[in-house]
Amino acid sequence: MNFRFLGRSGLKVSEISFGNWLTHGSQVEEDAAIACVKAALDTGITTFDTADVYAGTKAEAVLGRALKGQRRESYELFTKVYWPTGPGQNDRGLSRKHIIESIHGSLRRLQTDYVDLYQAHRFDAETPLEETMLAFADIVRQGKALYIGVSEWTAEQIAAGAKLARELRVPFISNQPQYSMLWRVIESKVIPTSDAEGLGQIVWSPMAKGVLSGKYLPGKPPPADTRAATPGSQFMTSFMTDDVLTRVQQLKPLAQEAGLSMAQLSIAWVLQNKSVSSAIIGASKPEQVLDNVKATGVKLDAELLRRIDTILGPVVERDPAQTSSPNRRP
237 versus 278: which is more confidently predicted? 278
CA pair distance 106, 117, nearest whole angstrom: 12
pLDDT value for 152:
97
| pLDDT tens-place string over residues 142-198 | 999 999 999 999 999 999 999 999 999 999 999 999 999 999 999 999 999 999 999
- By residue count, the chain amounts to 330
Q: What is the structure's pLDDT at 329?
A: 47
Are 172 and 148 spatial neighbours (Cβ–Cβ below 8 Å)?
A: yes
Predicted local distance difference test score (pLDDT) of residue 130: 98
Share of the chain above pLDDT 90, in %: 84
**How much is the pLDDT for 328?**
46
What mean pLDDT do residues 35-63 have? Answer: 95
- Lowest pLDDT segment from 107-116, 164-173, 228-237: 228-237
| Pairwise pLDDT comparison (194 vs 330), residue with the higher score | 194
Provide mean pLDDT across the span 1-8.
98
The stretch 304-324 carries a mean pLDDT of 95
pLDDT the model gives residue 320:
94
Q: What is the mean pLDDT of residues 7-26?
A: 87
Whole-number pLDDT of residue 227: 60
pLDDT over 60 (residue 118): yes
pLDDT, mean over the chain? 93
Region 291-305 average pLDDT: 97
pLDDT of residue 221: 77
Q: What is the 3-state secondary structure (H, E, C) of the chain?
A: CCEEECCCCCCEEECEEEECCCCECCCECHHHHHHHHHHHHHCCCCEEECCCCHHHHHHHHHHHHHHCCCCHHHCEEEEEECCCCCCCCCCCCCCHHHHHHHHHHHHHHHCCCCEEEEEECCCCCCCCHHHHHHHHHHHHHCCCEEEEEECCCCHHHHHHHHHHHHHHCCCEEEECCECCCCECCCCCCHHHHHHHHCCEEEEECCCCCCHHHCCCCCCCCCCCCCHHHCCCHHHHHHHCCHHHHHHHHCCHHHHHHHCCCHHHHHHHHHHCCCCEEEEEECCCCHHHHHHHHHHCCCCCCHHHHHHHHHHHHHHCECCHHHCCCCCCCC
At residue 26, the pLDDT reads: 59
**Catalytic residue positions, numbered:** 54
pTM of the model: 0.92
pLDDT at 135: 98
Helix 155-168 to helix 190-197 angle (10° resolution) is: 10
CB count within 10 Å of CB 1 equals: 14
Across the range 35-52, mean pLDDT stands at 97
The whole-number pLDDT of residue 151 equals 97
Partners of residue 172 on adjacent β-strands: 148
Q: Is the pLDDT of residue 234 over 70?
A: no
Are the beta carbons of 263 and 293 closer than 8 angstroms? no
Residue-level pLDDT at 228: 55
